[in-house]
């Protein structure tokens, strides 16, 4: 606790905060072991993920900007190379961990997509069922209206069409159940077909004619109503089971390994890109890439210099041979 407080004071007020004004300040040496080597090279990874799941905790060494400036101005040495190697090792270890997380996320999404029907098929079935239900309800309403007018023939024709649509709906339900038979829990079998017509009309029936003349609706038994409502409830439950399927396609962020929704709102995407964890891993990757590029340039310069020296040496030896 005391060391952490002393380190904080050193960073805020400087290492010479306790010196008397008449005393000469101590010179800063970037090779001081109390200094953070990562901060000298680029930055300290401990500062990137504060209050996130990847939080590394506070750094145990001092972050001195003056020492960092002297480190940058110093000539390339084996000590500086060692600091860079240690920084690369630490960053690569963190990146290897997040890369494994990304790989596991991909495998998890692949398993989820393999075990579930394609979302396009689910959407197609849902849309077709909604259309069929709307048509069935419309035909039932028209049949009831025809019954109240006493138009028996039209009501019966409408109910024939209604039964045909219900059979088509039952066929779709069966097809979906068969398609989902590889799931651990299959949707329960549903009976959506009503066994009776919604309008009970017997041609020539006095009671029917009397009810029609009085302007009331055609009689409908309580059992028929209960059966129809039960069928609708079962159908709604089945469609809710379809709704349990993933409606949004997921993907894994290639930088930080977070799960993202494909085609999500722009604001949510920007919030993710500006998050500490995403920015932190992005900064790590960029720093490692910059060091590798810088070392590649240094190797190319050394190779060109070596080739020039070799050519100069060969020319000198050739001139000496000619003089002989």
Q: Which residue has the higher pLDDT, 71 or 324?
A: 71
What's the mean per-residue pLDDT of the chain?
Answer: 76
pLDDT in tens, 172-220: 878 777 766 645 444 444 444 443 444 444 343 434 444 444 444 444 4
Q: DSSP 3-state assignment of 302? A: helix
**Are 291 and 231 in the same domain?**
no
**Are 151 and 50 in the same domain?**
no
Q: Which residue has the higher pLDDT, 104 or 310?
A: 104
Residue 167 to residue 313: CA distance in whole angstroms: 94
The pLDDT score that the predictor gives to residue 203 is 41
253 CB contacts (<8 Å, ≥6 apart)? 102, 259, 260, 272, 278
Q: Which residue has the higher pLDDT, 149 or 114?
A: 149
Q: How far apart are the first and last CA of the chain?
A: 78
Out of 20-29, 36-45, 47-56, 297-306, which region has the weakest mean confidence (pLDDT)? 20-29
**Are 233 and 282 in the same domain?**
no
pLDDT in tens, 263-313: 888 999 999 999 999 999 999 999 999 999 999 998 898 888 888 877 777
Q: Could you give the number of structural domains in the chain? A: 2
Residue 196 backbone phi and psi in degrees, to 5? -125, 160
**Are 153 and 220 in the same domain?**
yes
Burial string for 228-248 (b: 16+ CB within 10 Å, else e) reads beebeebbeebbebbeebeee
Structural domain includes residue 198: yes
**Are 92 and 29 in the same domain?**
yes
**Are 122 and 112 in the same domain?**
no
Residue 142 to residue 131: CA distance in whole angstroms: 17
pLDDT in tens, 77-98: 999 999 999 999 999 999 999 9
Residue 292 backbone phi and psi in degrees, to 5? -65, -40
pLDDT in tens, 224-252: 444 454 555 555 555 555 544 445 788 99
Structural domain includes residue 324: no
The pLDDT score that the predictor gives to residue 133 is 85
**Are 253 and 109 in the same domain?**
yes
pLDDT score of 12 more than 90: no
Structural domain includes residue 154: yes
Residue 123 to residue 105: CA distance in whole angstroms: 25
The pLDDT score that the predictor gives to residue 209 is 43
Q: Which of 245, 264, 281 delimits the end of a domain? A: 245
Q: What is the pTM for the complete model shown? A: 0.55
pLDDT in tens, 163-180: 888 888 888 878 777 766
The pLDDT score that the predictor gives to residue 184 is 45
* Cβ proximity of 11 and 59 under 8 Å: no
192 CB contacts (<8 Å, ≥6 apart)? 166, 169, 170, 173, 231, 232, 234, 235
The pLDDT score that the predictor gives to residue 156 is 86
**Are 189 and 209 in the same domain?**
yes
pLDDT score of 320 more than 60: yes
Q: In which domain, by residue range, is 156 found?
A: 118-245
Residue 22 backbone phi and psi in degrees, to 5? -80, -15
The pLDDT score that the predictor gives to residue 55 is 93
**Are 67 and 92 in the same domain?**
yes
**Are 234 and 207 in the same domain?**
yes
Q: Which residue has the higher pLDDT, 45 or 203?
A: 45
Structural domain includes residue 313: no
Structural domain includes residue 179: yes
**Are 27 and 131 in the same domain?**
no
Structural domain includes residue 305: no
Structural domain includes residue 311: no
**Are 125 and 238 in the same domain?**
yes
Structural domain includes residue 318: no
pLDDT score of 253 more than 90: yes
- For residue 187, which of 176, 200, 172 has the smallest C-alpha distance? 176
């Amino acid at each position: 606790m005391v060391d952490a407080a002393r380190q904080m004071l050193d960073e805020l007020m400087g290492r010479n905060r306790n010196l008397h004004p008449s005393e000469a300040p101590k010179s800063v040496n970037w090779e001081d072991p109390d200094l953070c080597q990562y901060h000298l090279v680029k930055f300290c990874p401990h500062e990137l993920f504060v209050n996130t799941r990847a939080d590394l905790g506070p750094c145990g060494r001092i972050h001195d900007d003056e020492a960092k400036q002297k480190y940058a101005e110093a000539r390339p040495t084996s000590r500086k190379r060692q600091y860079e190697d240690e920084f690369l090792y630490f960053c690569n270890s963190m990146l290897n961990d997040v890369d494994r997380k990304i790989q596991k996320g991909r495998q998890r999404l692949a398993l989820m997509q393999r075990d579930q029907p394609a979302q396009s098929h689910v959407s197609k079935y849902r849309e077709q069922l909604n259309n069929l239900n709307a048509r069935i309800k419309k035909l039932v309403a028209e049949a009831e209206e025809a019954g109240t007018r006493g138009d028996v023939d039209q009501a019966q024709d409408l109910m024939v069409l209604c039964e045909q649509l219900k059979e088509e709906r039952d066929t779709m339900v069966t097809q979906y159940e068969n398609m989902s038979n590889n799931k651990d829990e299959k949707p329960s079998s549903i009976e959506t077909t009503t066994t009776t017509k919604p309008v009970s009309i017997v041609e020539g029936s006095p009671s029917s004619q009397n009810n029609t003349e009085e302007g009331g609706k055609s009689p409908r038994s309580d059992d028929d109503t209960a059966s129809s409502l039960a069928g609708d409830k079962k159908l709604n439950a089945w469609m809710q089971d379809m709704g349990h399927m993933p409606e949004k396609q997921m993907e894994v962020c290639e930088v930080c390994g977070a799960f993202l929704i494909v085609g999500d709102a722009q604001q949510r995407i920007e919030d993710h890109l500006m998050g500490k964890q995403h920015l932190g891993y992005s900064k790590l990757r960029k720093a490692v890439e910059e060091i590798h590029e810088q070392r590649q340039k240094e190797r190319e310069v050394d190779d060109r210099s070596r080739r020039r020296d070799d050519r100069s040496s060969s020319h000198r030896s050739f001139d000496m041979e000619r003089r002989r």
